[in-house]
Amino acid sequence: MFNGAHVSAALTMGRMDHHAVHAVEGTDPRLSITRSLPDSPAPLPPVLLLHGFGSSSRQNWIETGWVRLLNDAGRGVVMVDLPAHGESATPDDAGAYAPSRIRADILQALFDERVLPLRGDDPTSGVDIIGYSLGSRLAWEFGATQPETVRRMVLGGPGTADPLAAFDLEGAERFLAGGAPSQDPTTADLLRMAQAGPHADLPALLALVSAIKTEPFDPQGAVPKMPLLLVAGDQDDYAVGLEDLTRWAPDAVVTTLPGRNHTNAITSRVFKEAALAFLA
């Protein structure tokens, strides 16, 4: 639920523009939304891309070639930078970082993009979702709570556990204040991923972690019913419990990426081709 690899790539995409999501219940989340439209649209819904912790839409999806691939296949793309990530703001309100609030902001972003509820007579209705890491956790919950909106989902690096819930917040805060690094290896790994991102605002990212701790991930409690593709590297220590996810979700299939871990799975050609075929 974390950072993807930062890979430089030449960008040859369709029309791209940036804007902000409208206020939800009178509060402006100041999220950055990026839309990329293909030159020759296919009769299919747009694809919502949700990045991982410590990353951004640019890092996870643009620089790794995902947006170019989807646009070339005729798919329109909507990308959301999560709070305190990418071009989005770092809110002072702790509630803005809660997963439930983020999902509400994502839903508003889709309304702003004029995404319509699924209709059998309209193949462009609804939305497909590709999430990675933290983005997969948010997508799982979003699909479970918004079944009338989501057609299909691809979840990269998913798992039943929530390492951010077990994050050593006090140890991380001591480290940022000049103390010794946290002795928890997962916390140290997540901090390393967060620090690798450009313009990382670590205090704001810790506020996000704190909010996530108040809403633990319960994948069995709310299960998405639409078709799911679960993708993970065979060396991904965070993608634990895939068998449970496929048992709970009635329409879930798994693709395993040989030689890939949680950091570099996002760049896999096998991942991209499997996702594109699944969403066709």
Q: Any idea what the CATH number is for the domain that residue 58 is in?
A: 3.40.50.1820
Condensed to tens digits (0 to 9), the pLDDT of residues 86-139 reads: 999 888 888 899 999 999 999 999 998 999 999 999 999 999 999 999 999 999
Residue with tokens 């409690």: 221
Q: How confident is the model at residue 185 (pLDDT cuts 50, 70, 90)?
A: confident
- pLDDT at residue 4 in the model: 39
Please state the rounded mean pLDDT for residues 141-163.
Answer: 96
Q: Which residues pair with 132 in a beta bridge?
A: 156
Fill in the amino acid letter for 143: G
3-state DSSP call for residue 6?
coil
- pLDDT at residue 160 in the model: 95
Is 187 inside any structural domain? no
Is 90 inside any structural domain? yes
Q: What secondary structure does DSSP assign to 158-212, as a single string?
A: --SS-TTTT--HHHHHHHHTT-PPPS-HHHHHHHHHHHHSTT--HHHHHHHHHHH
**Residue 148: how many other CB atoms lie within 10 Å:** 10
Q: How confident is the model at residue 7 (pLDDT cuts 50, 70, 90)?
A: very low
- pLDDT at residue 30 in the model: 80
Is 179 inside any structural domain? no
Is 9 inside any structural domain? no
- pLDDT at residue 16 in the model: 65
Q: In 52-146, where do the E strands start and end?
A: 77-80, 127-132
Q: How far apart are CA 47 and CA 66, in angstroms?
A: 11
Q: Edge-to-edge strands of the sheet including 228-233? A: 15-20, 32-37, 77-80, 47-50, 127-132, 150-156, 228-233, 252-257
Q: Are 171 and 209 in contact (CB under 8 A)?
A: no
Q: Percent of the chain having pLDDT more than 90?
A: 66
3-state DSSP call for residue 255?
strand
* Lowest-pLDDT choice from 45-49, 202-206, 215-219, 270-274: 202-206
Q: Are 153 and 131 in contact (CB under 8 A)?
A: yes
- pLDDT at residue 201 in the model: 81
Condensed to tens digits (0 to 9), the pLDDT of residues 197-229 reads: 666 788 888 889 999 999 999 999 999 999 999
Is 247 inside any structural domain? yes
- pLDDT at residue 191 in the model: 82
Q: How far apart are CA 58 and CA 80, in angstroms?
A: 10
- pLDDT at residue 27 in the model: 63
Residue 9 has pLDDT above 60, yes or no: no
Residue 26 has pLDDT above 60, yes or no: no
- Quote the domain boundaries for residue 150: 15-163+217-278
Is 175 inside any structural domain? no
The set of residues, in sequence order, having a beta carbon less than 8 Å from that of 155 and lying 6+ positions away, is 130, 131, 132, 136, 139, 140, 228, 229, 230, 231
Comparison of pLDDT for 141 and 205, the residue scoring more: 141
Please state the rounded mean pLDDT for residues 242-247.
Answer: 96
Residue 174 has pLDDT above 60, yes or no: yes
Residue 35 has pLDDT above 90, yes or no: yes
The set of residues, in sequence order, having a beta carbon less than 8 Å from that of 221 and lying 6+ positions away, is none
**pTM listed for this prediction:** 0.89
Tell me the average pLDDT of the chain: 88
Q: How many independent structural domains does the chain possess? A: 1
Is 39 inside any structural domain? yes
Buried b (16+ CB within 10 A) or exposed e, 13-23: bbeeeeebbee
Please state the rounded mean pLDDT for residues 149-172.
Answer: 91
Is 188 inside any structural domain? no
Please state the rounded mean pLDDT for residues 69-94.
Answer: 93
